[in-house]
Structure formats: C-alpha cells, structure tokens
Structure 1
Amino acid sequence: MNLDRTIFAFAGVMILISVALTHWVSPYFVWFTVFIGANLLQSAFTGFCPAAKIFGLFGIKAGCAFGEK
C-alpha cells in the first residue's frame, strides 16, 4: 500500500470515527469532522499533509499525490 492509499484510508476511518462520536458521545465532536475536512481541503491545494509526513517516517512508500518534490 502506498502513501496515497494509506492517507485516504486513514482519513476515511477518522471521519467515520468522528461521526460515530458525534452521534453517540457528544454533538461537539462534529468539530473533529470539520477539522479533518479542512485538513483534506488544504492538502489538496498546498500538497502538504501532516499525516503524510508522519506515515512517511514509518517507511510507507510515496505515491503520486504526496511524493517528494
């Protein structure tokens, strides 16, 4: 699995977790979902993703979207 697919899977899991927390724990967890969405949006425009840097440190090979420039 390359870095791109790892980031997409991680973002999807985090969104599902935040929606579940919003539903079952507190409606304030919706801000976690907003944060994830804002991070995805800024990484689409800037190419910088903090999670990609962290996963890269774990040795996951870069894909097309978050490769070294």
Structure 2
Amino acid sequence: MYKRNNNGEEVQPEETKVWECTSDKCNGWIRANFTYEEKPECPLCKSEMVASVKMLQAINNPGMK
C-alpha cells in the first residue's frame, strides 16, 4: 500500500487511463491526463502508443481541463 508522508493516511490505487508503448523493447507509458495529443507517440522510442488502464495512485493535473 501507499502511504502519504504528511499524515500516514493510506492511499488506495485506482484505475487510471494511460497510453502504453506498442514496442516489445520498450516499457514506456504515460498517464492519459498528462498528454496533450489525441494519439501520442512514445517519448522514449517514438513508437505508436495504445490506450490502456493501470492501477495507479491518483495524481491531480491542474493544468488539464
């Protein structure tokens, strides 16, 4: 489990939309709410990416609407 340092409260992971790299040689992925492109390319190897879901700790991105 994840714990916040400030008050010891447990943070449960939640389903988060992500983009994952399609290359077998790359493990790259990006949270969908941190991308500006409709269909991004992998920032590590420049391969195509596909939409997926991962169980991750929630992160608020105030720059996205």
Q: Structure 1-normalised TM-score?
A: 0.23
Quick check: which one's helix share is greater?
1
Which one has more relative contact order, counting CA pairs under 8 Å at least 6 apart?
Answer: 1
